[in-house]
Amino acid sequence: MCADQTSIQPAANGNYAIEARDLNVYYGAFRAVNDINLQVERQKITALIGPSGCGKSTVLRAFNRMNDLVPVARTEGEVLFHGKNIYDADVDAVEVRRRIGMVFQKPNPFPKSIYENIAWGAKINGFKGNMDQLVEESLRGAALWDEVKDKLKQSGYSLSGGQQQRLCIARAIAVKPDIILMDEPCSALDPIATLRIEELMRELVERYTIIIVTHNMQQASRVADYTAFFMVDDSRTGFLVEYDESDRIFTKPKDQRTEDYITGRFG
Amino acid sequence: MAVNPRDNDVFPQGETYTAFVRKRRRTGAFFRTLFLLATILAIVILTVLVLDVANNAFGYVAIQNRIDPETLIDQYYKNQMLAMPRTLTSEEDEVLAEGIAARPGAIGFFGYAYYQDNADTLRALAIDGVAPSAEAASSGDYLLARPLYIYTSQQLMKQGPQVAAFIAFYLDNATAVAEDVGYFPASAEDLAAGRDQWVRATGLTASTASTLLPASGAIRVAGSSTVQPITRRIAERFQTEAAFTGEITIDGGGTLAGFERLCRTRDIDIADASRAMERPDIARCNSNRVEPLAFTVGTDAISVVTSQQNDFLTGATRDQLRKIFIGAERWSEVDPSWPDTPILRFIPGAESGTLDFFVAGVFGDSLDDLPREDLLVILTTNISAGRLRALNAELAMEERTRDEIQDLVVAEVVRPNIVESWSFLESMFQQEVIEAEVASIPNAVMEFRSWLSWDFITSPQSSNPATAGVFTAILGSLWVTLIAFLVSVPLGVGAATYLEEFSKGSKIDGLIETNINNLAGVPSIIYGMLGLAVFVRFFGQITSGIAFGMADPSTANGRTILSAGFTLGLLILPLVIINAREAIRAVPKALREGAYGLGATKWQTVWSHVLPYSLPGILTGVILSVSRAFGETAPLIVVGVSTFIVVNPDSPFAKFTTLPVQIYQWTSRPQEEFQRLAAAGILVLLLLLLAVNATAIILRNRFSRRY
C-alpha cells in the first residue's frame, strides 16, 4: 500500500474497514435514513439489500461522502474510517473518495481512451510511478487486460456493457483505495456479464473491502460474506433491520421481516 | 376507486374502436401535413430569397469604354510608326511603290493590287513563311488577309427581286471580278455557303434563279470603300451581261456607315463591308427588325514589299516586322546577317485604313497581346503626371508585373463604365430587348457579367461599379468578428461554467442569471450606444491605440476595429453564456460522479470532463453567436464604421468597414448597378458565413469524435 500522508490514519485497533454510527441522512427536511449502525468487516463483501427506497444507496453514498454532491443533503452521525470520522471538519471529501472508491449502477467510463480512463484518476491524485504498468496492473486486476490490451487507444465507449463496468472497476482500483463501494453494479448487465463481475468481486475481495448494494438477493447470497437488510417505515425513512453473516440472513434470519423479504413475501 | 364492471364498457370495441383508431390517425395526418406545409413554405421562402439575390448578381451589362482598347493600341502603334526616323508617308500608294522600287534598303506596304501593278520592280515578302497568294489569303494563312463582305437581308431580297438577282450575279462573278480589281477571291467554301444562304433566303433554287431576270427597279448600295471597286465592276457587268434596266447607286461612307444605313435608316439594299458584323452591329439590326445576311465576296491582302534590287530580304516573321517598323534603325539590328544599312520606311498615312489594318494584324489589337514595355508606355502617355506619381507612390512601376500594368491600363485609361445593367431573368428572356437598348447607347458593348467574381472579392471599394469590390469589407468583417470571438468566448464560457458548476445559488447569482437572460433580448442598437459611450469615447485612448503609441492619426477618435469588436463581443456574450450553460447542463451526472468517485476535485472534474464533454454544444452556441456578430450592422453604424474606405485594415486600431455595412451602403444608393453589387456582396456574405460555419462544424465534429 502507498504510505501517503493523510489525516486518516489506521486506528490502533481498527477491526472494521468502515463503521457507521447513528448515521442519519436528510434531503432537505426529509429524513432518508434513520440511525444506521453498521460495522463493515475488512476484506469481506458486505451486501446492502432491501426494498426500493429503503435508503441502502443513500447509506452507501454516505460512506464516501457522495451525498455531498447533492446540494440539499445533510448527514448526521459518524462514519468512522480508520478510526476517524470522515464527516469531521478537517477531513476533505476528495481524500475520502480517493480511499473509498465507487462503481456505479450504470457503467460510466469517461469519454476517453481505455488507457486514459485508468490513468486519469492516478494522474490527478499525483501518481509518480510507471503509468503503463499501473494501467496493465489495474486492467489485470479487473480481469479485462486480455480483452483490451491491443486496443488501449480506443474509446472506453467501444466496449460492451460488462466490459465497461469492469473498466470502471479497473479505474477504481487504479487509485489504490481501501474500500470499493458498488451501487447495483450489475443491474444494467446481462446474466453472463453479471456472473463475470461477481467472479471478479470474489477475486478483488482478497485485497479490498467491498460494499455492494443490490436488488438481487441471489447475488447477495452468492457473493456476500455479510448482508445488511434495510426497510422503510411509514414516513418513507429507511432503517437497518438486520445485519449478519449472509449464511444466517438467508437461512435463519432472526427478524420476521427479513424472512418475509427473502422468501419473497413482499418487496 | 370505482371498479369498472366489464372491459367492454371501458374501451370502445369492434367497429367503434376501428373508427376511433382511424380518427386518431387522421388527427396525426392533419398535423403531419401542417408541419410539412410549414417546412415547404420555409424552404420556398429561403429559396426565393436566395434566387432573388442571385437574379440580381448575374446578368447583362452595357459597358462604355472611355477609350476602346483597340483605338488605344492602334493610336499607340501608329504614332510610333509615324514617329520613326527615315519614314516616308503618303496616301498615294503609287508614290510609295516608286519610292521603294528605287531604293534597295527600303521597305513598305500597301494593297495587293498595287504590288501586282509593280511586280517587275517590287518583291512581296512572305510573312511567317507565307507569301501573299490567292490560296493563302482566302484560307486565312496569310497574316495580313481579311475577307470582304456584302450584307443584305432576307426581307430586302424578297421585296426586291432585283436585289436577289443582283446578289446571285455577284456571287457568280465575284471570283473573276475580285482578281480583276486586284484582290484575291473568296474561298470556294465561303462562296458556296453564300449561295446556300441565298437559296434558303429566297426560296429559289439555282436553276429557278434565272426567272428573276430580266429585272428592273433600283438597287442602292453603300459602305466600305475597299469593297466598292468590286461592287462597281459587278454592277457594270450586271447591266451589260444581265440586261438590268434599273438604276444602281453605289455610295462609300465606310463599313460602319453601310451597316447604319442597312439597319437603322434602311435606305439601302446592300451594304459593302470590309469586316464582319459584330455583336453591337447585329443588335442594332435586330432592334430594327432587320436580320442581316452576310456574303463573302473576296479577300483583301496587304503586301509588304521591297525593291527588286534588295538582295537579302525575301520574307520576314511577324516579330521581325515589328522591329523593322518600330524600333530598329538599321537592318542589322533586326537580323545580324542583314547588312548594316539604314532602314527606309514607306508607309500609308495616318488616315489610311490600310495602316490600321497593318497595325492590327502585325501588332495585335488586344491588350492581352502587348508586351509589358508597350503597356507601360500606353499607360504613362494616357494619364496625368499627378496620377502617375500617385500610382508610383503606391508601388513603383518597375515592381509591377505585366498583368498588373494591363489592369492599370484598363482601370485608368480604358475606364470601362457600366452604364446599364439587367437582372439574370431579364438577360435570359429579354435578350433582344436588351440588345436593342444597348445598341441605342453610343459605343456601348453588351457583356454578360457575373457581379460576383474574383475581382469583386479582391478589389477595394470604389465609386465605379465596374471596379468596386469587397476586399476591404471582408477584411474588416474578419477582424471585427475575430475580436468579438476572442472577447465573448472566454468570458462567456467562463461565466457559464461559474453559473452552472460553482454558483451556490445565492441572491446575487440569481440576479446575474436574470440579467444575462434579459440582455440576450436587448436590441442591438443599444449595444451600439454602449460601445460608442464606453469603447469609442471613454476608452478612446486605448481603442485607437494611442496608449500603445500605435495610433493612426486619421482614426485617433476611437472608431476602430477594436471598439467594434468589443461591442459585438458584448452583444453576443449573453448568447454564448446561455448556450454554454445549456451544453454544460447536458453533461450526464454519471460522468461527474465517476470523476468525483476517483477523488477528483471540482475543478479537475470540470476541466477534464465537463468542459470537454460539453465543448461541441458550446461550439454550436459559439457558431450561432459568431454568425450573428458577422452579420450585425446597426451597432457598428452607431460605433462609427467607415462608410467609404479603400485602405485595408492592418491592425485592431485601424478604421474599417464590414461586409453587411458595405451591402447596406450599396442598397441605399439609387443606381441600379450598386443594387447588383449589393446582391453580389450578399452572396459573398453568405458564402463566407457558410465557410466559417463549415469550418466550425468540422472542428466541432473532430472534437466530438475524439471521445
Q: Per-residue pLDDT tens for A90-138?
A: 889 899 999 999 999 999 999 899 999 999 999 999 899 999 999 999 9
Is B563 a member of any domain?
A: yes
**Chain A residues within 8 Å of chain B (Cβ atoms):** 64, 66, 69, 71, 94-95, 97-99, 101-104, 106, 108-112, 120-121, 124-125, 155, 157, 168, 171-172, 175
Q: Tell whether B488 and B433 lie within a shared domain.
A: no
Q: Which band of pLDDT confidence, cut at 50, 70 and 90, is reported for residue B473?
A: very high
Closest listed residue to residue A207, CA positions, set A17, A6, A3, A9: A17
Mean pLDDT for the stretch of residues B335-340: 89
Q: Indicate whether B104 belongs to any domain.
A: no
Nearest CA in chain B to A72: B504
Q: Is residue B393 within 8 angstroms of chain A, CB to CB?
A: no
Lay out the sheet containing A30-41: strands in order across.
A84-85, A73-81, A16-27, A30-41, A238-245, A226-232, A45-49, A209-213, A179-183, A100-103
- Residues of B (678-707) whose Cβ lies below 8 Å from A: 707
Q: Which of B241, B268, B301 is the last residue of a domain?
A: B301
Domain CATH number, residue B246: 3.40.190
> pLDDT at position B568, please?
94
In whole angstroms, what is the distance from residue B396 CA to residue A248 CA?
102
Residue B28: which pLDDT band, with cuts at 50, 70 and 90? Answer: very high
Number of domains present in the structure of chain B: 3
Q: State how far the alpha carbon of B205 is from the alpha carbons of B172, B198, B210, in Å.
A: 14, 9, 9
Residue B284 and residue B151 in one domain = yes
> Given a cut of 50, is residue A6 above it in pLDDT?
no
Among A69, A103, A171, select the one facing B596 at the smallest CB separation: A69
> A16-31: per-residue pLDDT in tens?
889 999 999 999 999 9
pLDDT of B363 higher than 70? yes
Q: Evaluate whether residue A87 is within a structural domain.
A: yes
Asked if the model's pLDDT at residue B216 lies above 80, the reply is no
CB contact under 8 A, A108 and B600: no
Task: Mean pLDDT check: name the lowest of B38-47, B165-174, B283-292.
Answer: B283-292
Give me the total of CB pairs closer than 8 Å, taking one residue from chain A and one from chain B.
67
The whole-number pLDDT of residue A266 equals 66
**Which CATH number do you get for residue A231?**
3.40.50.300
Residue of higher predicted confidence among A190 and B212: A190
Say if residue B392 is in the same domain as residue B476.
no
Torsion of CA B450, B456, B461, B465, to 10 degrees: -20
Same structural domain, B397 and B442: yes
**Does B192 map to a domain?**
yes
**Cα gap B285→B645, rounded to integer Å:** 44
Domain assignment present for A183:
yes
Q: Are residues B436 and B489 in the same domain?
A: no
B497 shares a domain with B452: no
**Residue A79: enclosing H or E segment and its boundaries?**
strand A73-81
B575 with B678, same domain: the answer is yes
**Would you state the cell numbers that stand for residue B347, as one nine-digit string?**
508607309
| Residue among A95, A108, A155 whose CB faces B591 most closely | A108
The model carries a pTM of 0.69
Residues of B in contact with A103 (CB under 8 A): 597
Mean pLDDT for A195-211 is 91
Residue B46 CA: distances (Å) to CA of B42, B54, B200, B304: 6, 12, 50, 65
What residues have CB less than 8 Å from B494, skipping those under 6 apart?
none
Q: Are residues B649 and B540 in the same domain?
A: yes
Is residue A58 domain-resident? yes
pLDDT tens for B480-500 read: 999 999 999 999 999 999 998
How far apart are the C-alpha atoms of B481 and B500, rounded to whole Å? 27
- What pLDDT does A108 receive? 92
Q: Provide the pLDDT for residue B8.
A: 62
Say whether A98 and B707 touch across the interface (CB within 8 A).
no
Separation between Cα atoms, residue B23 and residue A114, nearest integer Å? 53
Nearest residue, CB atoms, A104 vs list B593, B600, B608? B593
Q: Is residue B21 part of a domain?
A: no
Q: What is the largest CA-CA distance in chain A?
A: 54
Q: Are residues B559 and B599 in the same domain?
A: yes
Complex prediction ipTM: 0.89
Cβ pair A171, A159 in contact under 8 A: no
- How far is the alpha carbon of B613 from chain A, nearest alpha carbon, in Å? 8
Domain end among B396, B423, B458: B458
Cβ pair A66:B612 closer than 8 A: no
> In chain B, what percentage of residues exceed pLDDT 70?
96
Let me know if residue A131 belongs to a domain: no
Residue B317 lies in a domain: no
Give the three cell numbers for residue B376. Answer: 507601360
Look at residues B424, B458, B492 and tell me which one is the last residue of a structural domain: B458
Do residue B479 and residue B447 come from a single domain? no
| Residue B598 to residue A71, Cβ atoms within 8 A | no
Q: Which residues of B touch A155 (CB under 8 A)?
A: 707
Compute the mean pLDDT over every residue in chain B, rounded to the nearest whole number: 86
Same domain for B414 and B501, yes or no, is no
Task: Spell out which residues of chain A touch residue B598, defining contact as CB-CB under 8 Å.
Answer: 97-98, 101, 120-121, 124-125, 171-172, 175
State how many domains chain A has.
1
Report if residue B246 sits inside a domain: yes
Asked if residue B702 belongs to a domain, the reply is yes
Domain span at residue A71?
16-108+179-262
Name the phi and psi angles at A73, rounded to 5.
-80, 145
pLDDT in the model for residue B706:
55
Residue B270's φ and ψ, nearest 5 degrees, are -135, 135
Strand partners, A80: A19, A85
Query: Tens digit of pLDDT for each residue in B266-320?
Result: 899 999 988 888 766 787 788 788 888 999 998 888 889 999 988 888 889 988 8
pLDDT of B96:
86
Residues B390 and B438 placed together within one structural domain of the fold: yes
User: Mutating which of A6, A8, A69, A138 best tests the B interface, going by the most B Cβ atoms within 10 A?
Assistant: A69
The whole domain housing B620 covers: 471-706
Residue A124 is assigned to a structural domain of this protein: no
pLDDT at B294: 92
Q: In this complex, is the C-beta atom of B597 within 8 Å of any C-beta atom belonging to chain A?
A: yes
Contact state of B613 with A101 under an 8 Å Cβ cutoff? no
Q: How far is CA A250 from CA A54, A266, B58, in A?
A: 19, 15, 86
Q: Contacts of residue A157 in chain B, CB cutoff 8 Å?
A: 707
pLDDT band at B662 (very low <50, low <70, confident <90, very high): very high
Q: Residues B505-523: pLDDT tens digits? A: 788 888 888 888 898 889 9
